[in-house]
Amino acid sequence: MLQKLEEVKKEFESGISSIRSLPDMAQFKADFLGKKGKLNALMSGMRDLAVEEKKAFGSKANEVKQVMLAAIEEQGRKIEVEQINAKLEKNRQDISWTDKITDLGQQAAGLHPITKLTRELEDIFLSMGFDILDGPHIEDEYHNFEALNIPESHPARDMQDTFWFKDAEHLLRTHTSNIQIRGMEQKKPPFKFVGPGKVFRCEALDASHEAAFHQLEGMMVGRDISVQHMIHFLRTLLSEIFKKDINVRLRPGFFPFVEPGFELDYECMLCGGKGCPVCKQVGWVEGLGCGMVHPNVLKAGGVDPNEFNGFAFGMGIDRLTMMRYHIDDVRHFHSGNLQFSEQFKAY
Amino acid sequence: MKISLDWIKDFVELPELSPEEIGTKFTISTCEVEGVEESNAHFEKILIAQIKSIEPHPDADKLNLVTFDVGSGEKRVVCGAPNVAVGLKVPFAPIGTTLPGGFTLEPKKIRGILSEGMLCAEDELGLGDSHEGLLELSEDAPIGKTLADYMNIKRDILLDIDNKSITHRPDLWGHYGMAREFSAAFKNPLRKAFDNKWVEKMQAFYNDKKAPVSIKVEEGTACLGFTGLSVDNVTVKPSPLWMQQRLTACGMRPINNIVDISNYVMLEFGMPNHIYDRDTIKGGQIIVRTNGEESVFITLDEAERKMIASDTVVCDAEAPSGIAGIMGGLSSSVKDETTKVFIEAANWDAADIRHTSTRLGLRTDASQRYEKSLDSCQLEPTVLRILELLKDSCPQAEPVGALVSDALDFKEPLVIDLKIERVNSILGTTLDIPEAVEILESLEYCVKVESNIMKVTVPTFRATKDVEVDADLIEDIGRIYGYDKLSPVPPLNEITAVSLTNAKQLERKIQDFMVYRARALEIYTYPMLGAKLLDQADWNIKNEGLILANPLSPDTDRMRPSLIPGFLEKAALNQSNYSTFRAFEIGRSYLASEKNFSEDRHQLGIMFFDKKESLFMDLLNLVGDLLENLGINARIMKPSGKFENPLVASDWAGRHPNEFLDIQVMGKLAGFITTVHPVVAGKFKIKGNLSIAVLDVTDFKDRPLKDKTKYKPLPKYPGATFDCTVVADNDAPVADVLSSLGKVKLNELVDYKIVDVYSLSDTQKTVTIRAWLQDKDKTLQPETITKAEDMIVSALAKAGYPLKQG
């Protein structure tokens, strides 16, 4: 009997792996485990056995039954997965066909590179406690020149080829320094703020000259502020911008709204100050204009120069952006050409 | 401007430093040295050669093989000069010589024959303009000697100064003023070659004779002082080589001794001047007056200049002889036979000169110096220095009478009080009074210390404009002390909280939305444009109140009144590269305003383009989302016709007949969305569908961005949905169908939306609507659901949308 049981089990084992559908499986299960199945047939011969044998066989047969049930369930699951997969196979899609290799027109989305750099600068200044201000593009003579200690006929007006309107009193701001005056008019010292924005110069256009470009101007006004504080601040600023420690040097520079006025150079990052074509062999690169706010400018902004002083600085954003991305032509910035814009994608 | 260190050394010793080191130190202490170049070094290599034999080049018609003696032996070069002749003495530049212009001679075969250097023409040596043939040296020139020795030419170093860095320093527009800076920077004494003793020595040449030229300066001119001196017995001839060399080095062409001296003294003192042929001064009178009328004057460069009534002119008894401070006329220059001259040194008002020179478009060496505000105290020394050099050149020259002058107006000396505490507080230094005084005195300030206050008298040449207040003195002290000695110190800071302004936050939020939600690219378009583009865009606000007086071109002659014309132009540009695109700009438009002249309007412009289909709905949905996200009270609606939209004219041809909506923010029209009408798109050759939206944020950009989110507890009981399909006319807007459910007053009806629209026929469609039912206090009762369904269906039917049958 036990031998027969063993044979049925073998038959079961060799048969189950070839079952491929659920109806076949039901039939197969009935063949072995159904009322008239093979296992039951053996079981019905059990009554002829002695008690001891009956016990042994019963327990063995039950064991075989459990094994069969488990095998049937497992094979059933297998068949189910196979059938689903077959369906999925019918709906297979070409997962190599990505948007990237398809012409969908413009796909990239992103900010203008000047916006990116401006935001970066704004965030650096915010982190150092500076407010971010703004002012009008169309200015009056007073805010662009007079209040900044640039009276009519001052040679500084030579340097700035100004776009004038026909009324000869209004102009396109030639620098963001107008924000200095407008900022001082709003605030009580001590204060510190920057003003990034578009500025205009009547300059013939070429790869490095634009009539509309971008500057950032800032000032810090308080008590007993010295040139040494300014150096510290500007070095920290440039190190933040370039994301590495940077050496700076001051040299005299003329801006009517500061006195003393400076040009701040930073050590050339390409050659580390040894001299190379980028820094014209001098090891230093012109960084920004700065200086101690001229007493006349403080007065124009309603600040008492005997009580307060401070420093101001200004820098070009276009050049910084061009350096960051190795952009070869400043005219791209206002071109509205998406082939340019899409290279600065954020998404 | 070029500065010759050889010239500087006339007045101050320079330390043993490389030219680059001198340049760097000067850059740090005074003004920007853009370049350092060595001049005349080649003369130390160029030898005097005598030609021995000439034979034709075997392979070239116009070339000769020239053999010559250079003392140490014979050499041969290939030479094409027409004047080669046996016996001629000529300059020879051996291999390795670097000629002016930076060209270094290398061993080279010319048409197969090795040339051992070059025989030189005048221009190749930097001695003149002539390239007609080899420079012919005199017969007694010693063979083998260097040209430097033979012609006594000294090696020089030229500093190229950035003119922009000295616009505020009238005193630095001449070598003597520069020498003063070198003296202070390198702490070597200045040789005061033109002190009072020298002035007295030179004034001794004045005599009692009657001055043959008188000067009269009329009221109301630009004149700040006019001086002159007549001199007889001059001989016009070439000036000495050293003077020619210095002038050439500084970029001036030597002409004759008289013109050269005039230029030389301008380069030395910084004061422009003029030497007249005295015979040309009609009536022995010089009159400075305003032009009085419009006229034409022919300047030295033979150009006609249109003069206006207020221009100052210098005249003789009959007619103008020059435009004050800018350029003289043709007639007054010295000629070869001139023996009697009149030296003029005059000073003019900077602003007046600047105006006239800008108007005439005539910027000269003289005018650019006068624009810096020169010091009238330098007038007489200028005349005297010219006299001194004239006498060097023509020993028999002598003045007739004494200096004549008019309108000389010397100002009171400027005295500034300076406290050492202020110096140290601004610079962060620890200087004491004697140290500060030493620096100031090295720059020729006079300092008296009274009870710890420095009373600083500003020298006249610094007091015209540059130095006004103590901050100016502190700058001088700082730069001569050495900015490189100042170390960085962190400032003491008040603690303040800062955040982006509301306007900036709004701008960033919009930008981020446009990038991350709309997947658009940010662009900048030009803030200026021209009438042509406005016409093309059919834009009838021409912004004539905001036209520039000096535009770069007619295409950028005014401020843009709207972002639209630029967008149309850029859409046309980009359509060839993209079948579809989305771009935006946050920029300004500019409106003329009666009250404030102009108004900057802050605007968002969006454009969606697709070659095949209209993206109007995408744009509309996006703008709706944006407005909702900004938390402002806004509405997108059909134009009511009652109010003019300030952002787009009601008759703009670019408005689409169907795809156009106004945007209203806080009760005011502040934007619009449109598909650009094919008529306008066509004028830009735009082939496709372009939809544009403009939103003006000016009036609400400064309001705080509020987070208006209000949390509602989640429903505790299950809700139900109910779909129904109704029939509507094809042209009935689905929003109208849906809004008829607004009439259903039932608390349990919480929302309803369109699920599907299906066209039944040419005239009818079905609209499927889903309603959400919810009772927040209990599970929905079946009778409530039935009631709601009935109410919904009957509301729709009442509005003319019956339930679809079957």
Q: Vertex B680, ends B674 and B685: CA angle to 5°?
A: 115
What are the b/e assignments for A211-231, b being 16+ CB within 10 Å? bbbbbbbbbbbbeebbbbbbb
Same domain, B201 and B243: yes
Cβ contacts of B368 within 8 Å, gap of 6 or more: B163
- Tell me the residue range of the domain where B135 lies: 41-153
Q: Give DSSP secondary structure letters for B258-279.
A: HHHHHHHHHHHHS---EEEEGG
| Beta-carbon separation of A336 and B490 below 8 A | no
Looking at CA atoms only, how far is residue A338 from chain B in angstroms? Answer: 7
A177 and A253 co-located in one domain:
yes
Task: Output the pLDDT for position A160.
Answer: 54
A7 inside domain: yes
Same domain, A128 and A228: yes
Calpha distance B800→B794 (Å, rounded): 10
- Whether A258 is covered by a domain: the verdict is yes
- Enumerate residue ranges in chain B where pLDDT < 70: none
Q: Does A277 touch chain B (CB under 8 A)?
A: no
Do the Cβ atoms of A106 and B521 come closer than 8 Å?
yes
Q: Is residue A117 part of a domain?
A: yes
- Asked if A71 reaches chain B (Cβ–Cβ under 8 Å), the answer is no
Residue B682: CB atoms within 10 A of its CB come to 11
B495 lies in some domain? no
B272 and B380 in a single domain? The answer is yes
Q: Are residues B145 and B226 in the same domain?
A: no
CA proximity to B474, closest of B451, B492, B456, B452: B456
User: For residue A50, is it within any domain?
Assistant: yes
**Hey, is the C-beta of A247 within 8 angstroms of any chain B C-beta?**
no
Mark whether A225 and A170 lie in a shared domain: yes
The answer to whether B69 touches B50, Cβ cutoff 8 Å, is: yes
B546/A contact by beta carbon, under 8 A: yes
Q: Is B210 on the interface with A (CB under 8 A)?
A: no
CATH code of A171's domain: 3.30.930.10
Alpha-carbon dihedral sign for residues B459, B464, B466, B472: positive
Domain count, chain A: 2
Partner residues linked to B315 by β-bridges: B287, B320
**A129 and A83 together in one domain:** no
C-alpha of B80 from chain center: 46
Q: Is B457 a member of any domain?
A: yes
What do you get for the CA distance between the two ends of chain B, in Å? Answer: 96
Asked if residue B401 and residue B517 are part of one domain, the reply reads no
Beta strand B103-104 with B446-450: parallel, antiparallel or unpaired? unpaired
Q: Which of B406, B433, B468 marks a domain boundary?
A: B406
Rounded to whole angstroms, how far apart are CA atoms A131 and A195?
8
Both tokens assigned to B772: 């959400």
At residue B346, the 3 state secondary structure works out as strand
B492 is a domain residue: no
A residues 311-330 near B, CB within 8 Å? none
Residues of A in contact with B569 (CB under 8 A): 336
> Residues A206, A208, A209, A212: is their CA dihedral positive or negative?
positive
Residues B234 and B272 in one domain: yes
Q: Token pair of A161, please?
A: 């080829």
Q: Give the CATH number, domain containing residue B300.
A: 3.50.40.10
The crossing angle, in degrees rounded to 10, of helices A317-325 and A113-127 is 110
pLDDT of residue B267: 97
* CB within 8 Å of B730: residues ≥ 6 apart: B759, B762, B763, B764, B765
In this structure, are residues B232 and B339 in contact, taking their beta carbons and an 8 Å threshold? yes
Is the residue at A290 inside a domain?
A: yes
B496 assigned to some structural domain? no
Interface list for A 125-164 with B (CB within 8 A): 126, 129-134, 136-138, 140, 152-156, 158-159, 163-164
User: Which value does ipTM take for this structure?
Assistant: 0.87
User: Is A240 in the same domain as A320?
Assistant: yes
Q: What is the pLDDT of residue A207?
A: 87
Chain segment B176-203, per-residue pLDDT in tens? 999 999 999 999 999 999 999 999 999 9
What is the residue type of B310?
Answer: S
Beta-carbon separation of B522 and A254 below 8 A = no
- Contact assignment for B426 to A250 by CB distance below 8 Å: no
Residues of B with Cβ-Cβ distance to A200 under 8 angstroms: 527
Candidates A137, A156, A166; nearest CB to B588: A137
Residue B59 lies in a domain: yes
Q: Is A23 on the interface with B (CB under 8 A)?
A: no
Range of the domain at A158: 113-344
Residues A86 and A119 in one domain: no
User: Chain A residue with minimal CA distance to B504?
Assistant: A132
DSSP state for residue A34 in the 8-state scheme: S
Say whether both B345 and B292 belong to one domain: yes
Is residue B493 in a domain? no
Nearest CA-CA partner of B32 in A283, A159, A286, A269 = A286
**What's the gap in Å between the CA of B776 and the closest CA on chain A?**
41
Neighbours of A344 (CB within 10 A): 20
Domain CATH for B29 = 3.30.56.10
B546: which chain A residues are within 8 Å (Cβ-Cβ)?
138, 165
Confirm if B378 and B189 have CB atoms less than 8 A apart: no
Angle formed at CA B737 by CA B733 and CA B739, multiple of 5 degrees: 110
Q: Are A106 and B582 an interchain contact pair (Cβ–Cβ within 8 Å)? A: yes
Cβ(B413)–Cβ(B457) below 8 Å: yes
**Cross-sheet strand order for the sheet of B285-290:** B214-217, B285-290, B312-315, B320-323, B327-328
Residues B367 and B326: beta-carbon distance below 8 Å: yes
Coil vs helix vs strand at B141 = coil
Angle at CA of residue B247, ends B245 and B248, nearest 5°: 65
Q: How many CB pairs under 8 A join A and B?
A: 245
Are A210 and A76 found together in one domain?
A: no
Q: Are residues B226 and B208 in the same domain?
A: yes
pLDDT by 10s per residue, chain A, length 347: 788 888 988 999 999 988 888 899 999 999 988 888 888 888 888 778 888 888 888 888 889 899 999 999 999 999 999 999 999 999 999 999 998 898 888 889 999 999 999 999 999 999 999 999 999 999 999 999 999 988 876 756 655 588 999 888 899 999 998 888 888 988 899 999 999 999 999 888 888 889 999 999 999 999 999 999 999 999 999 999 989 888 899 999 988 899 999 999 998 887 888 888 777 778 888 889 999 999 999 999 999 999 999 999 999 999 899 988 999 999 999 999 999 999 999 87
- A152 in a domain, yes or no? yes
Q: Are residues B200 and B115 in the same domain?
A: no
Looking at the structure, tell me whether residues B80 and B213 fall in a common domain: no
Residue B475 Cα, gap to closest chain A Cα (Å): 4
In a domain, A183, yes or no: yes
Site from B521, B591, B597 to mutate, A interface, most A CB atoms within 10 angstroms:
B521
**pLDDT (tens digit per residue) in B612-641:** 999 999 999 999 999 999 988 999 999 988
Residue type, A317: I
- Exposure pattern of B732-747 as b/e (b: 16+ CB <10 Å)? beeeebbebbeeeeee
Note the maximum CA span of chain B.
132
CA distances, A160 to each of A170, B91, B207, B408 (Å): 15, 48, 49, 32
Pair (A62, A136) in one structural domain? no
* Structure-token match 């032996």, residue found: B73
Residues A222 and A328 in one domain: yes
Edge-to-edge strands, sheet with B521-522? B521-522, B580-593, B597-610, B689-696, B668-675, B660-665, B634-637
Instruction: Give yes or no for A232 touching B (CB within 8 A).
Output: yes
Q: Is the residue at A104 inside a domain?
A: no
A205 and chain B: CB distance < 8 Å anywhere?
yes
Q: Please check whether residues A80 and A147 belong to one and the same domain.
A: no
Residue B145's CATH number: 2.40.50.140
Residues B522 and B553 in one domain: yes
Q: Which of B474, B524, B553, B584 to mutate to test the interface with A (most CBs of A within 10 A)?
A: B524
Q: Are B215 and B399 in contact (CB under 8 A)?
A: no
How far is A251 from A243, CA to CA, in rounded Å? 24
One domain for residues A85 and A216? no
Give dist(CA A10, CA A15) in Å, integer.
Answer: 8
Residue found under tokens 């706010």: A293
B271 & B369 share domain: yes
Same domain, yes or no: B377 and B237:
yes
Q: Are residues A204 and A318 in the same domain?
A: yes
Q: Provide the domain count of chain B.
A: 6
Q: Is residue B701 part of a domain?
A: no
Q: How far apart are CA B41 and CA B155, in angstroms?
A: 5
For residue B708, being part of any structural domain is answered with no
